[in-house]
Each structure stands twice: as structure tokens, then as C-alpha cells.
Amino acid sequence: MAIVLALVCAGLVLGVSGVNPIALSAKVIQSTFGSSFGLQDVSLLLTPLILTGLAVAVALKVGAWNIGAEGQFYAGAFAATGIGLFIPGPTFVILPLMFVGGALCGVLWILIPTLARAYAGVSELITTLLLNFVGTLLAYYVSTGPWLDPGGHALGTTARVRHNVPEIWGDVHWGFPLAIALTLLIAGILNFTRWGYEVRIAGSNAQAARYAGIPFRRHLITVMLLSGAIAGIAGMLEVAGTVHRLQGGISNNFGYLGIMVAVLARGSALGVLAGASLMAVILNSGIILQTQGVNTSTVLAITGLILFFTAIGDELAHYRFVPIDTASK
């Protein structure tokens, strides 16, 4: 209902602006799902959205908010680019190193907020958010300074990373099925293992978890580091699979959009796949809307409306209608 109401409101606004929302919707659907080019674009957007959404959703399981997936994304992209550019070796060796490096750099980026929350009670909302700006500025600095493409073929980017994730369909690379497989794996671990059960209990009620002998602090640290690793992997795949070089703005706000994906999924790892699919279609629609003369801010407004109505729906879900027994009166 939240999604439907948001789209209806957006359609009304477009109608008042003199645009035919029905014809525009048909154009978006045809361009997105009616051609292999549109499906490839959606798939390329899905890969980082699934992973950043999964990173946020995993942290929610233990009752933590990882608002720093954007910074961890940049950290993973930074590490992967450094390994790809400066460590010699064949692709079958360097590519796994880039994967591990991206994950580890994502872990390092969330380490201080994790320890601050676990041992000092410092809100991870603030610390993870602030580190986003550090990660973004780091990428801008190295791509326009020390790592600037010496050949000058691209403005404000590093040289092209030679080691690429193999493609499976057009521009779609193996990062796409990897993101889906990782989501299914983590969903299975969270739902069908003792560790996952303890994490869910710890996230539901930390005091009850401690009373039951569940090590809350250990699970908090483990889950938050896992969350950072996933976001770092997203950055690595964006460099090695899609963009092939580090540049400012490489994230396209995927880290922030991952928060919305996790909210739409209500913290469910499997629900992330559906939430990411919706966001990918909306983002791809923004490109089509621009060709029709619609401002890109419209897409931001639609995503904001979806989040707004989702928050209302989430609150209303705690209530139910109770019939009044008029006979007793």
C-alpha cells in the first residue's frame, strides 16, 4: 500500500505539471522490461543495491543501524582499485585479492563505530554517518590527485583497472548472481542456525539476551563487521564489474539507498531482493524520465514518498481493528 500510495501521489503531481502519468508509466515499463538493454541496466543497478541493502538489514538484526554503508562502499572501492592498479599478477589471482581487500576495508571502516558502540555506548548512527563523508572525500582525493589517470583519458578518475569481473549477459557481470547468492546464504544462516537465532534474540531484546546467557556484545561486533564487509564488497564489484575505475561519485548514493531497501524489506534478508528490485526500477525510470523532459528531482521525490508512506504503514502495522460489540451496549 505504501508503494501504491507513493506512486499515485507522484502521478497526481505529474498530472498537475501537465504530464500524462499513464503514458509516461507505459513508456517506463516498456523501456525497462521490453528490451534487453533496459533489463541489463536494472541488473547493473540491482547488484550494489542488494549488497548495501543487505549490509543495513544484517545490522538491523542485532538492533544496530549501519548508516555508513556509503562510506564502507567507497572504502571497498578504494581498496579494490589500489590492489588492481598497483599489485602485479594474473587476473585469477588479483581479482580474489580485490574481493578480500574490499571486504576487509569495509570492515576497517566500520570497526571504530562498532567498538565505540560495543564498549562505550556511542550511537552508531552518528559515527557511521560521519565516516561516509571521509570515504567520499578519500575517493575524490586519490582519483583527482595521487591516482589520477596519467594518460588523461578520463577527467577526475584513476586509470582503468585491468582485472574485471567476467560478464555473463551483455554488461551484466557475475557480481549480480554473487549478490543474490550471498543474500540467500546470509538469510539461511540467520534463520536456520543457532548463531542466527541468538543474533535475532539479541536484536529483539538485549536485556533478555544477556539474561539467557547470549553474548550480546560479541554478536553486536560480529554482525556489524559483517555488515561493513558486505558494503565493502559492493564497492569492489562496482569497480571491478561496472565502472572499472575509481572516481568521485562512483557510489551514486547506493549506500544511502541501501537504507531504504532495508526499510522496505523490514530487516529481512530475503526481503532485500524485493526492495532492491523496486529501487532499481525506480532509478532506471529516472533515466527514462529525463529523456521525456522530467526533472531528476522527481525520482528523489518518489523515493521519499515511498519511504514516508512505508514509515506510516510500519507504525500502523502495530494496531488492528477491533469490532465494537454494540449488543452489549
Please tell me the predicted confidence (pLDDT) of residue 154: 67
- In-domain check, residue 96: yes
Measured CA distances, 247 to 78, 91, 142, 150 (Å): 9, 22, 8, 14
As a whole number, the mean pLDDT across the chain is 90
Q: Which domain holds residue 129?
A: 41-271
Grid cell 500500500 in the structure block, residue: 1
Has residue 120 got a pLDDT over 60? yes
Q: What percent of the chain has pLDDT over 90?
A: 62
Please tell me the predicted confidence (pLDDT) of residue 16: 79
Runs of H (alpha helix) within the chain: 2-16, 21-33, 36-61, 69-86, 91-120, 124-144, 175-192, 194-204, 206-211, 216-237, 254-264, 271-291, 297-316
Has residue 40 got a pLDDT over 80? yes
Work out the average pLDDT over 14-32: 81
The one-letter amino acid at 211? Y
Decide: 143 and 159 in contact? Cβ < 8 Å: no
Work out the average pLDDT over 233-255: 94
Has residue 326 got a pLDDT over 70? no
- In-domain check, residue 185: yes
* pTM of the full structure: 0.91
- In-domain check, residue 75: yes
Condensed to tens digits (0 to 9), the pLDDT of residues 143-161 reads 999 999 887 666 789 999 9
Has residue 208 got a pLDDT over 60? yes
CA atoms of 99 and 163, how far apart (whole Å): 11
Please tell me the predicted confidence (pLDDT) of residue 170: 87
- In-domain check, residue 237: yes
- In-domain check, residue 166: yes
Task: Tell me how many domains the chain contains.
Answer: 1
- 138 or 290: which carries more pLDDT confidence? 138
CA atoms of 252 and 283, how far apart (whole Å): 10
- In-domain check, residue 107: yes
Has residue 4 got a pLDDT over 80? yes
Condensed to tens digits (0 to 9), the pLDDT of residues 261-291 reads 998 898 899 999 999 998 898 888 877 777 7
- 93 or 208: which carries more pLDDT confidence? 93
Please tell me the predicted confidence (pLDDT) of residue 133: 96
Beta bridge mates, 172: 169
Please tell me the predicted confidence (pLDDT) of residue 136: 96
Please tell me the predicted confidence (pLDDT) of residue 329: 55
